[in-house]
């Protein structure tokens, strides 16, 4: 791969500390930063997760990264940007010998412990997204805060080079991001084959209420299909899922 063919990371900004790399990426976007600008921080003081949650990590231990994507997509294809992030993470971890699974809607797990999370924020113009901030938090070295969580180092049994992991991550985002204009099938195939949830029993929270059932299908655009013990089937879209846990 030549440097010219790589768009994520064509411009890389590294900071020691910030509130949130997603905030820095939004600011950069409004100042005209190009597609593919990647912002990394050693530390965040107000790292964000989905649904108003926080993302905390010991200083200089992991990847805290936001990638600016100026990609016009149909609104119903916007969940694919989270899929790009999750697939890129699973590829990186596998490259370093750690087999991970995707836990819908935006997490990457290994052996029941969380290794990474993806937070995508988007700007919509006339109901169509044209700008995405793909935020990825990936625990690389040391012991992550909060439980149950793990790091690549804990799983691999040795410390890893953060720049090497960051580079592999950008390559993964490059590979999957380049396919955003194409067919959904490759995303769907990779997404379901790397999913942790298929045929598993889960509890899903939506609008403050939880429902338990077995995941009978996972669609990268529409969300998950849950078969309830009554035999009924319910769909959950990723953006509506407040929380999901295995039961
Ligand atoms: C989640 O698990 O809910 C998503 C976590 C996403 C965390 C990353 S860290 C880099 C980027 N900046 C943020 O403030 N959040 C994302």
173/215 same-domain check: no
DSSP structure string for 153-198: HHHHTS---HHHHHHHHHHHHHHHHTTTTS-SHHHHHHHHHTBS-T
State which of 150, 167, 193 marks the end of a domain. 193
Question: Which residue's CA is the nearest one to ligand 1's atom 10?
Answer: 64
Tokens found for residue 167? 């580079």
State which of 193, 212, 238 marks the end of a domain. 193
Structural element, H or E, at residue 154: helix 152-156
Contact 214, 199 (CB under 8 A): yes
Q: Which atom of ligand 1 is nearest to the CA of 117?
A: 2
Q: Which atom of ligand 1 is nearest to the CA of 65?
A: 10
- CATH number, domain of 230, equals 2.30.30.100
Using alpha carbons only, what angle is made at residue 122 by residues 116 and 125, rounded to the nearest 5 degrees? 170
236/185 same-domain check: no
Residue whose entry in the numeric block shows the structure tokens 């790292």: 47
Q: Which atom of ligand 1 is nearest to the CA of 50?
A: 3
Using alpha carbons only, what angle is made at residue 26 by residues 220 and 19, rounded to the nearest 5 degrees? 100
10/59 same-domain check: yes
Q: State the residue range of the domain holding 127.
A: 3-193
Which DSSP letter does residue 50 get? G
143/233 same-domain check: no
Per-residue pLDDT of the chain (247 residues; tens, 9 = 90+): 444 445 766 799 999 999 999 999 999 999 999 999 999 999 999 999 999 999 999 999 999 999 999 999 999 999 999 999 999 999 999 999 999 999 999 999 999 999 999 999 999 999 999 999 999 999 999 988 777 999 999 999 999 999 999 999 999 999 999 999 999 999 999 999 999 999 999 999 999 999 999 999 999 999 999 999 999 999 999 999 999 999 9
Question: Which residue's CA is the nearest one to ligand 1's atom 3?
Answer: 49
23/134 same-domain check: yes
Tally of domains within the chain: 2
């Amino acid at each position: 791969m030549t440097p010219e063919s790589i768009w994520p990371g064509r411009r890389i900004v590294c900071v020691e500390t910030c509130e949130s790399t997603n905030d820095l990426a939004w600011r950069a976007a409004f100042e005209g930063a190009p597609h593919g600008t990647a912002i990394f921080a050693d530390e965040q003081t107000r790292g964000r997760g989905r649904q108003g949650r926080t993302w905390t990590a010991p200083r200089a231990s992991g990847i805290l990264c936001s990638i600016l994507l100026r990609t016009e997509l149909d609104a119903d294809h916007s969940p694919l940007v989270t899929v790009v992030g999750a697939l890129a993470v699973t590829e990186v971890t596998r490259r370093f010998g750690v087999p991970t699974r995707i836990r819908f809607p935006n997490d990457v797990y290994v052996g029941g412990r969380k290794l990474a999370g993806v937070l995508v924020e988007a700007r919509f113009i006339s109901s169509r997204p044209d700008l995405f901030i793909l935020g990825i938090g990936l625990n690389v070295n040391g012991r992550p805060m909060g439980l149950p969580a793990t790091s690549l180092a804990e799983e691999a049994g040795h410390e890893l080079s953060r720049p090497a992991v960051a580079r592999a991550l950008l390559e993964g985002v490059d590979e999957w991001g380049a396919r955003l204009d194409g067919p959904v099938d490759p995303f769907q195939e990779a997404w379901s084959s790397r999913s942790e949830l298929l045929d598993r029993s889960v509890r899903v929270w939506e609008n403050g209420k939880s429902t338990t059932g077995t995941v009978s299908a996972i669609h990268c655009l529409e969300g998950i299909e849950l078969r309830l013990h009554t035999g009924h089937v319910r769909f959950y879209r990723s953006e509506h899922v407040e929380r999901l846990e295995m039961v």
